[in-house]
Structure 1
Amino acid sequence: MTENIVWHDQTVSRAEKEQHKGHKPVLLWYTGLSGSGKSTIANAVEAKLFELGCHTYLLDGDNVRMGLNKGLTFSEEDRIENIRRISEVAKLFVDAGLIVSTAFISPFKEDRARARSIMHQGEFVEVFIDTPLEVCESRDPKGLYKKARAGEIPNFTGISSAFDVPEQPEIHVKTAEQSIEQSVEQIIGYLREAGVIEI
């Protein structure tokens, strides 16, 4: 029931927050298979942005599941709810004027489209960390692919659950063809060209 809920406008405007921070707020939505390098690249980009004096925050999939989304399973229904909650939290951080990064598999295009739809025009930047399944599986940093192949993890993206490949991501990073440093420069370059940062 929401009939008794009224949106409360804030005294400090988004424009004032943007001017105070010295850059535009934006959401960098990293998506890709497990082991593709989402968290690694997101962390490296955040470190670079911090070095440049930007105000940032990184929401990582595993970390969020330990708190805000604790109790959610990896069923399709709970995965959808996981991404819905993250979208709303990311929106709040962007509204605060930050450059926000989310590193989640977010396998379903409908969920990513829904996340985009609640943001202002130009504030949602889809970053597709495009790494072939065989490369991700060879890395297997958490041993998840081995467990999935053994049938110990149901609904595992790329093995027993689908991953909807982004059709038109703002940034397409091919980690099998370039280094972490090159990937970071690609993303920072986009932010400069888009006028998010001027440094």
Structure 2
Amino acid sequence: MGQSHHAFLKRFQGAITTRDRMEIFRQKPVTIWLTGLSGAGKSTIAFELERQLVSQGRACYVLDGDNIRHGLASDLSFDQKDRRENIRRVAHVAQLMNDAGLIVITALISPMREDRAMAREIIGADNFIETYLSASVDTCAGRDPKGLYAKARAGEIASFTGVSAAYEAPANPDLKIDTAALTPAESVANIFTYLRDNYLTNLACVERS
């Protein structure tokens, strides 16, 4: 039996380093990994956070779960195995974008702790901020912006997180935002404050040695 093509692959390193890209963008790349139930506010918060970061001259990009499903993950279902593969792909994309010097914001349900731990390992613990958007099933179902909870409860959608599939809330997230009690603007402000206090003060001070 012949060798796999992977046996002949090697990793190449160009002359430009992550540090060089940090100096170009004047920031340290990081991934803000938003996790929570459908309806918890992930996409709304992700894109508003992106807008505020860009308004301050930060180079960043949102990897939104719905958008990813139109292309990168269009071949995947919503069962647990394919959800894990979806997260693996997004994590690798986020890692590459971090390597390119960008701040990344992901907005995915990412329901399983094991899968989020995999994402942290792929991206790198120092560049990964697990951000739990906390809202109960009842709160999210009450919003039901896409009508998904009603369809899931009627049996029209299989493997729907919070109804027919489990969501494992982070035990010790880097940041927890109660989106049931806070408005989207307040939620974004809390995340931005966390970034400013823990990351942005350093991101802006990448000096060429």
TM-score by length of 1: 0.96
After TM superposition, give the deviation of residue 121 of structure 1 in Å.
3.5
Mapped contact 1:30–1:102 kept (Cα < 8 A): yes
Matching residue of 1:174: 178
1:88 aligns with 2:68: no
1:151 aligns with 2:155: yes
Matching residue of 1:59: 63
Instruction: Give me the whole-angstrom Cα distance separating, in 1, the residues matched to 2:125 and 2:171.
Output: 18
5+ residue gaps, structure 2, are none
Mapped contact 2:64–2:108 kept (Cα < 8 A): yes
Matching residue of 2:22: 18
Work out which of the residue numbers 27, 31, 42 in structure 2 matches 1:27: 31
Mapped contact 2:34–2:131 kept (Cα < 8 A): yes
Q: Which letter maps to 1:78?
A: D
Instruction: Give me the whole-angstrom Cα distance separating, in 2, the residues matched to 1:5 and 1:94.
Output: 23
Greater shift, 118-127 or 51-60, is seen at 118-127
Instruction: Give me the whole-angstrom Cα distance separating, in 2, the residues matched to 1:176 and 1:17.
Output: 38
RMSD (CA atoms):
1.2
Question: Following TM superposition, where does structure 1 have runs of at least 4 consecutive aligned residues deviating by more than 3 angstroms?
Answer: 196-199
After TM superposition, give the deviation of residue 198 of structure 1 in Å.
4.2
Higher helix share: 2
Distance 1:74 1:121, change over 3 A: closer
Pairing of 1:130-141 with structure 2 (within 5 A): 130-141=134-145
Higher Cα radius of gyration: 2
Matching residue of 1:41: 45
5+ residue gaps, structure 1, are none
Instruction: Give me the whole-angstrom Cα distance separating, in 1, the residues matched to 2:78 and 2:14.
Output: 36
Q: Which letter maps to 2:118?
A: R
Mapped contact 1:37–1:175 kept (Cα < 8 A): yes
Task: Tell me the SS of whatever aligns to 1:122.
Answer: helix
Task: Tell me the SS of whatever aligns to 2:199.
Answer: coil
Seq. identity, %: 45
After TM superposition, give the deviation of residue 120 of structure 1 in Å.
2.9
